[in-house]
Structure 1
């Protein structure tokens, strides 16, 4: 299974009064990972970053739904969180992006199995025509790249 791994720093403003990442701030963490993973032209090195970005893009993405399941508190960390992303489902004009928000990688592959996620999430994105706002099909070249990054959806608890 191929996944995209994105490092996202925890900012001081992401913390709440209890010293851990605020639940609403996690939406921004997911957004930053998603932009890095899928939008071209922003300096991303990810092979999945193939969508046009910026005001002149012919297609935009809109969020149709999001679901987050918090598994444990995310403390303030000096090292960036690791967000692992993949596509759980790809339709004609939409896709479900799935995530695991993980502690920073220690760089040791043997350690990877013991890193429990802080949270898991899913976002449904719809590609729309920038001029009309109408849903538009995922281009074949984009679909071909993304197909390699599809896997089973996140298993939510409830």
Structure 2
């Protein structure tokens, strides 16, 4: 399955008065993962040519508390049309980063000084630098999934101020990341 994993550090300011990561900050986690994961093969970001979020849906499953280790965000494409595409996300623990440092002993994580990293969804990152990664996601490991989400992104011509068609390079790139859409629990429906 062509899911890609991005490791995103949690910030102290992401936490709210209830002691967990605030629901609005999950949109920021998704944005960080999306920007890091979707670089084009030539090194440009799809955002250079213009991509805007038209819709976002998040299903919160388990409270995520602040910790020093990063949270993993698996990202994949669930649908591609002429001028838009849908991304799906799972915000979860990455077994390779939990419990690896003294600062978080006994808590949900530990690695100090970890930056945003992209790697295969098997947890192999690239040492904290932002870049493109390959890998297979899902896996059968025991994991805590904190949230599931989906966004619809529209290709946008920034200079003209209107939607545009996806380029062939973008369509091919996105097709390589395509996997099954999420099923949200509450609605029981499939997000396409």
Scaled by the length of structure 1, what TM-score is found? 0.84
Q: What RMSD over aligned residues (CA atoms) do the two structures have, in Å?
A: 2.2
**Which residue is equivalent to 2:9?**
9
Q: In 1, are the aligned partners of 2:80 and 2:86 still within 8 Å (CA)?
A: yes
Query: Counterpart of 1:135?
Result: 163
Distance 1:4 1:60, change over 3 A: same
Alignment match of 1:90 (pick from 80, 83, 97): 80
What is aligned with 1:77? 67
Q: Which segments of structure 1 move beyond 3 Å, counting only runs of 4 or more?
A: 47-53
Structure 2: 5+ residue stretches without partners: 98-121, 123-138, 188-192
Match of 1:44 in 2: none
Once the 2 structures are TM-superposed, how far is the Cα of residue 112 of structure 1 from its aligned partner? 5.1
2:93 aligned residue: 103
- Alignment check: 8 A CA contact 1:86 1:151 kept: yes
1:62 aligned partner: 52
Paired with 1:37 and 1:63, the residues of 2 have a C-alpha distance of: 15
**How many Å apart are 1:52 and its aligned residue?**
4.5
- Deviation string for 1:47-67 (max 9, x for gaps)? 6965354xxx4x211111000
Q: How many residues were matched structurally?
A: 147
SS for the counterpart of 1:155 is coil
Unaligned runs of 5+ in 1: 41-46
TM-score normalized by the length of structure 2: 0.70
